[in-house]
Chains A and B, each alone.
Chain A
Amino acid sequence: MVNVIWMGLILIGILVAAITGNMEAINEAAFEGAKVGVTICFGLISVLVFWLGMMKIAEEAGLLRLFARALGPVGRFLFPDVPKDSPAMGYILSNMSANLFGLGNAATPMGIKAMEELQKINPNKDQASPAMITLLALNTSSITLIPTTIIAIRMNYESANPVEIVGTTILATMCSTVVAILLDKWFRYRNRHHI
């Protein structure tokens, strides 16, 4: 599926450019895109290094285990196949909380760390396990309580009430998260019973 989308984006793009005589833009876009990819990764280095260092202290201090136990019921419902005392559960729940409070910078390293722990218990290293897909679904549907970036932009453009969209955002984000969880559960069920 990713192979098809990736190839599709490139081939359709080049085809459209060929028809409209826009090939110059493609040349520029290809190298610009590559540069953006590297720039993002280098930007991630500082955040990853700092938060993974802090998270290691949290892990050694037993904070993650405490956290995983406190939010255990939520974790067990969403990740039935992850052992409840696995370090993965602590990272997963930290990732969810960071997203909830709009701390995107802190959420990514914890999500990656959670993926690494899930990979350790994944029997097929090439293929995403159901727990990995659930974690991804939660992140892409992004349960957010405080959309900080958008509030900042609204302030910038002198909105009379920059935070008035918090309520509608929470409702919309809840809809997409519920859909993500239900679909994830359904695919899990279907894969187990029909394939």
Chain B
Amino acid sequence: MYNMVTTISLWAIPAIIVLILLAGAVNRVPVYETFVEGAKDGFDTAIKIIPHLVGMMVAVSIFRASGALDYIIKAISPILTALQIPAEIVPLALIRPISGTGALAITTNIIENFGPDSFLGRLASTMQGSTDTTLYVMTVYFGAVGIRKVGYALKVGLWADIAGAVAAIVIVTLVFG
């Protein structure tokens, strides 16, 4: 299983590159010129996202540095203890939707302190792998095309995050608990 996983992740990208180039050659596409033409868009897109991402990162950074997140965790931890949810996992569940690097730091910290094969280590690993940074994805994707009114997108994203976190706790408890 492990060998298969590493082989797939090692071969996937080179295989896609070869496939695209061969398909281009078969259909007589001028591959290099076409590559350059498409690649030009990449720079503009990345630059267009800067204001959106800077705005969001400043807000998240201020919120975290102020200690506001710690107070929220402290406030709701009695409820979680009653539900038998380990308090150590709460910061990860709360920060996952707003900061990808923050979540990765917390996961690494949990694995370092409790070990990768502990209950908490497995729970943090599962939670980290099964959700994504909603706020970041939304900022980048909608920022790139200049969408300002996001409709119900945030609601769907955040409810999916909650579902993912709850599912991770239930499933890890059932499988490894």
Q: State the CA gap A158–B159 with chains docked (Å).
A: 34
Kindly name the residue among B21, B23, B55, B59 whose own CB sees the greatest number of chain A CB atoms within 10 A: B59
Contact present for A172 and B54 (CB under 8 Å): no
Contact present for A62 and B27 (CB under 8 Å): yes
A125 to chain B, nearest CB (A): 7
How many residues of A are in contact with the other chain, CB < 8 A? 107
Interface status of B91 (Cβ within 8 A of chain A): no
Contact present for A127 and B147 (CB under 8 Å): yes
Contact present for A140 and B8 (CB under 8 Å): no
Contact present for A53 and B138 (CB under 8 Å): no
Q: State the CA gap A175–B166 with chains docked (Å).
A: 9
Interface-lining segment among A70-78, A79-87, A106-114:
A106-114
B142 to chain A, nearest CB (A): 6
Q: State the CA gap A127–B147 with chains docked (Å).
A: 6
Contact present for B167 and A172 (CB under 8 Å): yes
Using A34-B54, A49-B39, A169-B129 as known contacts, say yes or no to A9 and B142 having CB atoms under 8 A apart: no
> In the assembled complex, which residues on chain A have CB atoms less than 8 Å from the CB atom of B29?
57, 60-61
Q: Which of A143-195 contact B (CB under 8 A)?
A: 144, 146-151, 153-154, 157-169, 171-173, 175-177, 179-180, 183-184, 187, 191
> In the assembled complex, which residues on chain A have CB atoms less than 8 Å from the CB atom of B55?
6, 37
Q: Which of B77-117 contact A (CB under 8 A)?
A: 97-98, 101, 104, 107-108, 111-112, 115-117
Q: Which of B14-45 contact A (CB under 8 A)?
A: 16-17, 19-21, 23-24, 26-27, 29, 31, 34-39, 41-43, 45
Contact present for B2 and A37 (CB under 8 Å): no
How many residues of B are in contact with the other chain, CB < 8 A? 104
Number of contacts between A and B (CB, 8 Å)? 367
Q: State the CA gap A184–B153 with chains docked (Å).
A: 8
A35 to chain B, nearest CB (A): 8
> In the assembled complex, which residues on chain A have CB atoms less than 8 Å from the CB atom of B98?
9
Contact present for B156 and A37 (CB under 8 Å): no
Contact present for B138 and A136 (CB under 8 Å): yes
A37 to chain B, nearest CB (A): 4
Using A140-B161, A173-B130, A179-B159 as known contacts, say yes or no to A41 and B1 having CB atoms under 8 A apart: no
List 25 A–B pairs whose Cβ atoms lie within 8 Å, in order of A's numbering: A6-B56, A16-B68, A20-B67, A28-B65, A29-B64, A30-B61, A36-B57, A36-B101, A41-B46, A49-B43, A57-B38, A101-B8, A109-B45, A112-B140, A115-B141, A115-B142, A128-B149, A128-B153, A136-B142, A141-B163, A153-B104, A168-B168, A175-B130, A180-B156, A183-B159
For the complex of A and B, 9 pairs with smallest distance between CB atoms: A56-B38, A33-B61, A147-B129, A176-B164, A53-B39, A49-B42, A29-B65, A175-B167, A48-B42
